[in-house]
């Protein structure tokens, strides 16, 4: 054991002699894919970094959904709303429900983190928060599409509105999902 500790310190390893066995265990865990990833991060360091990145992403999405949802809640109190045909009122109700679901999903990671904080399950919390954020983005997409449909139906009274909405929907699909998926497969296919 002394020879192993001496050899490690001769190679410039700054790990204390008492921790050499622990470092060896981490190396063994690394072989199993548990200790470090390609950045040289431990699972805990990686979870911390991913959490910070996720929080930044959620801030952008939360701001958008909260402004949209706040606006949607006021529409029902305008005089114009009461004169809308029942189909437009139905689209409005669906949009408000989708907006509330999107808001819930995008705020859920905060509640999730708060409830499990200190339980040493940050990697799992990051995974669940990521899933909730993805669901929130899908619901936000649906909210935006139905809100746009409602606005264009009221503004244009035109059969062109659904076609415009379909075009915008495709644009969102390309920007939010297809392009990132393409990049993911294109640039990580070797992994």
pLDDT digits (tens, 9 = 90+) for 10-19: 443 333 334 4
Residue 190's pLDDT is 58
User: For the chain, which ranges sit under pLDDT 70?
Assistant: 1-38, 190-191
Work out the angle between the directed axes of helices 122-156 and 43-75 (0-180°, nearest 10): 30
pLDDT in tens, 20-59: 344 444 444 444 444 555 688 888 899 889 999 999 999 9
Q: What is the pTM of this model?
A: 0.74
């Amino acid at each position: 054991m002394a020879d192993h500790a001496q050899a490690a310190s001769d190679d410039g390893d700054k790990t204390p002699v008492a921790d050499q066995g622990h470092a060896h265990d981490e190396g063994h865990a690394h072989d199993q894919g548990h200790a470090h990833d390609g950045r040289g991060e431990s699972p805990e360091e990686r979870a911390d970094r991913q959490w910070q990145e996720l929080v930044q992403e959620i801030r952008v999405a939360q701001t958008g959904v909260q402004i949209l949802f706040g606006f949607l809640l006021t529409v029902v109190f305008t005089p114009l709303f009461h004169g809308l045909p029942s189909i437009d009122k139905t689209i409005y109700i669906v949009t408000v429900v989708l907006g509330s679901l999107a808001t819930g999903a995008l705020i859920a990671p905060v509640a999730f983190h708060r409830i499990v904080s200190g339980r040493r399950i940050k990697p799992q919390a990051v995974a669940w928060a990521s899933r909730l954020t993805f669901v929130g983005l899908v619901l936000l997409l649906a909210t935006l599409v139905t809100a746009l449909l409602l606005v264009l139906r009221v503004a244009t009274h035109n059969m062109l509105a659904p076609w415009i909405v379909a075009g915008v929907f495709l644009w969102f699909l390309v920007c939010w999902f297809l392009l990132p998926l393409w990049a993911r497969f294109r640039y990580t296919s070797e992994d």
